[in-house]
Amino acid sequence: MAAISLQQRQNLRMFLRILLQSLRIRKSRVLIAFCSILIGAAVVFALLSLYFDISIKMSRELRAYGANFFVGAAETGQPTLEADIYRRVLEQIPAQRLVGASPYLYGVARLDLGNAVLAGVDFTGLRRLSPFWQVEGKWVAVDFDEEHCMIGRALARNMALKVGDQLRVFKRETGFNQSLTVRGIVETGQAEDDQIFVNLSLAQKILGQPGRINHAMLSILSRDFDTDALAARLKEQWPGVTAAPLRKVSYSEGKILEKIKGLMALVAVIILAATTFCVMTTLVAMVVERTREIALLKSLGAENRSIVRQFLIETCCISLAGIAGGMLVGFLLAQLLGQAVFGAAISFRIAVVPLTLTVSLVAALLAAIMPVRMALRIAPATVLKGE
Amino acid sequence: MFIRMLRQSFLRGRKRKALAVATIVISASLISALMTISINVGDKMSRELKSYGANINLLPKSESIPLEIGGIDYNPLRGQSFLAETDLPAIKEIFWRNNIAGFAPFLKTPVRLAGQRQPVQLIGTWFDRHQPVANEPDYRTGVRQINPFWEVVGDWPEDRAFGGVLLGAGLAAAAGLEVGDRIRIELGEAERQQSAELQVVGLLKTGGAEDQSIVAPLATVQQLTGLPGKIQAVSVSALTVPENALAKKARRNLDALNTEEYDRWYCTAYVSTIAHQVEEAIPNSAARPIWQVAAGEGAVMRKIQLLLLVVTVAAFIASSLGISSLMSTTIMERSGEIGLMKALGAADRAVYLLFLSEAAVVGIIGGLLGCGAGAGLAQLISLGIFRSTVPFAPVTLPVILFTSVLIALVGSLAPSRHITRLLPAEVLHGRN
């Protein structure tokens, strides 16, 4: 019993010695292997992190297309609903999902040179809702500002108005008669080009519709969020309200996200394959150069199994160190990519860690075992004699 | 002697060289595929982003201010001006005609459903009309091309048939109408009122103003309103590139551009350029970019291009480092050989030259093969995602060739220095 345990202990000591010496003496080569595994693991980690974040990041980017949800009154024509309902609808949507929202109240008002459609909006919300508005001059900045307005490009041209000009607004029915200063001229290429925009509170006064709005537009992050269910829930809660996702935007968003995700997946797979291959060839080259060492071990009576085990554990040690470093570097790399492309951090996902570990370790072990097995099949005498 | 050594090195160490070449082939093909995709992604994604609908709105030049709220015009005295339907094929004859993905004319008029007081909008348009244009006798266009997000329950109406219409889903629900029902509409002012009977062939859902409208073939609406050959607006869907400083400058004031800038602007597919050219092609019209689509597209495209560029650069760096480490390993294992060469009197320079020439040969072979494989790979990616092929950009060949040689050289340089510094006696004795 004691003899066997002594034998085992000696074996273990010898094994550790070979391992340590191999790592110590071949320092520069171990360093190269470590570095190449580190780079490989870093790329794998960064790409996987980026891939898992791409939909959420791109769906935020796609909000550049503006409103994707509509809330209005159920009847046809020009019905109004209470502004209070709009506020309560907003409370139903998680704050981090709501990119922007604005109520709209429309009416016809008389200006110096003719009639125009006047729209009451919430400028702060509108600015986030419609980032595509091409504004010359400035946005109306505060919600209670009742001195300023913004006007459409076509209207400005027809009435010869510039930013900073005064504009008189009349409404016979309410007796409203006041001058507003044009703060900005807006161009969208659609109906807005012919309209005049003021704060909702002012529009309610001008049009004599206190506390009412026509409809509201919302921009919601719709990934993993059922806007159809939200619409159904709102309709059920307030029978006078109709709500629906805007197909023009919501339909396209899903399609585009799918394409981008597919593109990213393919690119990621290809890069992963190529990086893995690079790491493998480096490791293969390193093991191949040790054919003589393997032959020597064999001629001294080492079993095939113990040689394979030694190379395996050696590779494992280097790989684990490399992968650990690689994950750290990879996380930093992902942040760099995220900042460069989206100007936002890429979140750390725990699922990426085991994935990176598996991919890198499997690649490294495969790369080490294949050439060792090849070397084992060679007769030691031929190898030791040279070539 | 040098050539012989180089040849022998390749013949003897065939396996090793094959490994190096294979690695470079793989990396080079990956980089060239990514480059090809990055170069073409703008064009491909621009096509995908067409699902957001038209990005240019063409209207008659007019001084009057429309008073339209929710699709209904509140200005009965509005001096109507029109465009001619027969001018439309000219849209496909502009400089950027191949970037016109589709267009559809519109003619709108308020009508009342029989028995209801509220007016609704009757919209006449082309659904999927056969419209021969120059060089394309089979050209088809209409809302089905430019607005793929329109969802229809039932059938699409025939463009040439009279009376088959789409009914907005919201309107249908409010009026209790279904596919197959016949509806009676009244149009015109009180004294000249007329009515017509239409057949609902499908229900339309868009989430926009069309949900409360009736959409009919253009010819039907022209006949009902007594405006044959007249249209009010055209939606044009064009493939564009994101706006830059030049396009913004042109938009502010076209006359401020000098000749060279103007030519560059005119020959780039900015949305403002295409709008300008469409406006030139159709008499008495004013074209306006629909910024919701045009600006949104620009923002998204820039992101996607940047994303691919950044990923390509990252992949590029990773594979260069991979190849470098492989080259290092293959050189370091040859220390015995170098020791012998030096013992026989070879100068350091000769050793460098040998290694670097080897690296260059490996780089050239690997780069060439990689470029070929990369072109194939790019086609596979493009077919997989965009269902169309990508043209091979000639610029990739020199770039890939140059970089693969460079990477191989850089990878060889550091270990060659290390190895030439070794003492021959030590190396040959066997302590490496």
Query: Cα A250 to the chain's mean position, in Å?
Result: 18
Q: Are B288 and A189 in contact (CB under 8 A)?
A: yes
Length of chain B: 432
Model confidence, pTM: 0.77
Smallest CA-to-CA distance from B365 within B24, B10, B119, B12 is with: B24
Phi/psi at A364 (nearest 5 deg)? -65, -45
The pLDDT of B216-222, averaged and rounded, is 92
Calpha distance B396→B33 (Å, rounded): 9
Contact by Cβ (8 Å): A60, A221? yes
- Out of B16, B323, B381, the one facing A278 most closely (by C-beta) is B323
What beta strand segments (E) does A188-223 contain? 195-199, 212-213, 215-220
* pLDDT score at B33: 86
B269 touches chain A (CB under 8 A): no
Query: CA of B243: how far to CAs of A30, B57, B251, in Å?
Result: 51, 17, 10
Chain B residues close to A62, C-beta within 8 Å: 296, 300
Question: What contacts B387, CB < 8 A, 6 or more positions away?
Answer: none
Residue B59 to chain A, least CA–CA distance (Å):
10
Tell me which range, A16-25, B64-73, B189-198, B403-412, is most confidently predicted by mean pLDDT.
B403-412
Residue B354 burial class via C-beta count within 10 angstroms: exposed 0-12, middle 13-18, buried 19 and up: buried
Note whether A46 contacts B26, CB cutoff 8 Å.
no
- The answer to whether the CB atoms of B51 and A251 lie below 8 A apart is yes
Interface residue A50 vs chain B (CB under 8 A)? yes
Of the listed ranges B124-133, B188-197, B223-232, the least confidently predicted one is B188-197
Q: Which of A21, A159, A256, A278 to mutate to test the interface with B (most CBs of B within 10 A)?
A: A278
Average pLDDT rounded to a whole number, residues B313-332 = 77
Which residue ranges of chain A lie beneath pLDDT 50? Answer: 1, 387
Q: How far is CA B342 from CA A92, A153, A386, B4, in A?
A: 81, 81, 20, 17
The residue type of B234 is V
- Most B CBs within 10 Å: which of A115, A196, A252, A283, as the mutation test of the B interface? A252
Q: By C-alpha distance, which of B110, B132, B127 is closest to B119?
A: B110
Check residue A82 and give its pLDDT: 84
For residues A309 and A285, is the Cβ–Cβ distance under 8 A? no
* Interface subset of B 122-181, CB within 8 angstroms of A: 147-151, 170-171, 174
Pairwise CA distance, residues B92 & B109, whole Å: 27
The answer on pLDDT for B78 being more than 80 is: no
B347: number of CA atoms within 13 Å, CB side? 4
Beta carbons within 8 Å of A200's beta carbon, 6+ residues apart? A83, A103, A105, A120, A121, A122, A213
Burial profile B237-253: b = 16 or more Cβ within 10 angstroms, e = fewer: bbbbbbbeebbeebbee
The secondary structure of chain B in percent helix, strand, coil, rounded to multiples of 5, reads: 55, 20, 25
Candidates B168, B83, B161; CA nearest to B123 is B168
- Chain B contact for A342 (CB, 8 A cutoff): yes
| Cα of B271 to nearest chain A Cα, Å | 12
The dihedral through the CA atoms of B88, B91, B92, B98 has a sign that is negative
d(CA B204, CA B214): 9
Q: What does the alpha-carbon distance between residue B395 and residue B399 come to, in Å, rounded to a whole number? A: 6
With contact defined as beta carbons under 8 Å apart, do B4 and B350 qualify?
no
DSSP H or E run through A181: strand A176-187
Q: Is A28 on the interface with B (CB under 8 A)?
A: yes
The token pair at A70 is 């509509």
pLDDT tens column, A318-370: 899 999 999 999 999 899 888 888 888 888 888 899 999 998 888 888 888 87
Give the model's pLDDT for residue A76.
59
Handedness of CA A198, A204, A208, A212 (dihedral sign): positive
Q: Which chain A residues touch B333 with a CB distance below 8 Å? A: 285, 288-289
| Structure token pair of residue A159 | 């009435």
Burial-class residue A350 by CB neighbours within 10 Å (0-12, 13-18, 19+). exposed
Chain B residue numbers touching A259 (CB-CB < 8 A): 45, 48, 385-386
Query: Nearest chain A Cα to B56, which residue?
Result: A189
∠ CA(A274), CA(A280), CA(A282), 5° rounding?
Answer: 110
Neighbours of A245 (CB within 10 A): 22
Q: What is the pLDDT of residues A23-71, one digit of tens each?
A: 777 777 788 888 888 888 898 898 888 888 888 888 888 888 888 888 8
> Phi and psi dihedrals of B136, rounded to 5?
-135, 85
- Domain boundaries of chain B, sorted by first residue: 2-45+299-429, 55-289
Q: What is the pLDDT of residues B122-166, one digit of tens each?
A: 999 999 999 888 788 888 999 998 888 898 999 999 988 888 899
| Subunit contact A259:B20, Cβ cutoff 8 A | no
DSSP B300-320: HHHHHHHHHHHHHHHHHHHHH
Instruction: Return left, alpha or beta for A97; rule: phi > 0 is left, psi -120 to 50 is alpha, else beta.
Output: alpha
List chain A residues with CB under 8 Å of B374.
none
* Contact status, residue A333 vs residue A42, Cβ threshold 8 Å: yes
Structure tokens at A152: 């459409």
- Cα B344 to chain centroid distance, Å, stands at 62
- Least confident interval from A1-15, B27-41, B105-119, B218-232: A1-15
b/e A62-96 (16+ beta carbons within 10 angstroms → b): bbbbbbbbbbbbbebeebbbebebbeebbeebeee
B51 — pLDDT class (breaks 50, 70, 90): confident
Count of beta carbons in the 10 Å neighbourhood of residue A296: 14
Chain B: closest CA distance from residue A105 (Å):
10
Please report, for chain B, how many H helices and E strands are present, in that order: 13, 16
- Closest-CA residue to B45 (of B392, B382, B376): B382
Q: Are A40 and B57 an interchain contact pair (Cβ–Cβ within 8 Å)?
A: no
Residue pair B217/B127 in contact (Cβ under 8 Å)? The answer is yes
The pLDDT tens digits of the residues spanning A209-221 come to 888 898 899 999 8
pLDDT band at B432 (very low <50, low <70, confident <90, very high): very low
User: What local confidence, expressed as pLDDT, does residue B77 receive?
Assistant: 43
Which of helix, strand or coil describes residue B90?
Answer: helix
| Alpha-carbon gap, residue A282 to A364, rounded angstroms | 10
Query: Between the CA of residue B312 and those of A256, A267, B11, B390, B416, what are the distances in Å?
Result: 21, 9, 35, 17, 29
Whether A256 and B48 lie within 8 Å, measured CB to CB: yes
What is the structure's pLDDT at A3? 57
CA separation (Å) from A181 to A61, A188, B20, B210?
33, 21, 72, 35
Q: Please, what is the average pLDDT of chain B?
A: 84
Predicted confidence (pLDDT) at residue B76 exceeds the cutoff of 60: no
Residues in chain A within 8 Å Cβ distance of B315: 43, 271, 274-275
Most B-contacting residue of A270, A336, A339 (CB-CB within 10 A), to test interface: A270
* A360 has a chain B CB within 8 A of its CB: no
| Distance (Å, whole) CA A375 – CA A33 | 20
Q: Do B207 and A246 touch (CB under 8 A)?
A: yes
H helices within A2-78, ranges in order? 2-25, 27-61
CA dist list (Å): A59 to A53, A345, B418: 10, 15, 51
In angstroms, the first-to-last Cα distance of chain A is: 44
CB of B287 within 8 Å of a chain A CB? The answer is no
Give me the pLDDT at residue A115, please: 86
CB of A187 within 8 Å of a chain B CB? The answer is yes
Mutate to test the interface with B, among A36, A276, A288, A378 (most CBs of B within 10 A): A36
Token readout for B385 is 């995602």
Asked if A29 lies within 8 A of B151 by C-beta distance, the reply is: no
Partnered with residue A182 across adjacent β-strands are A149
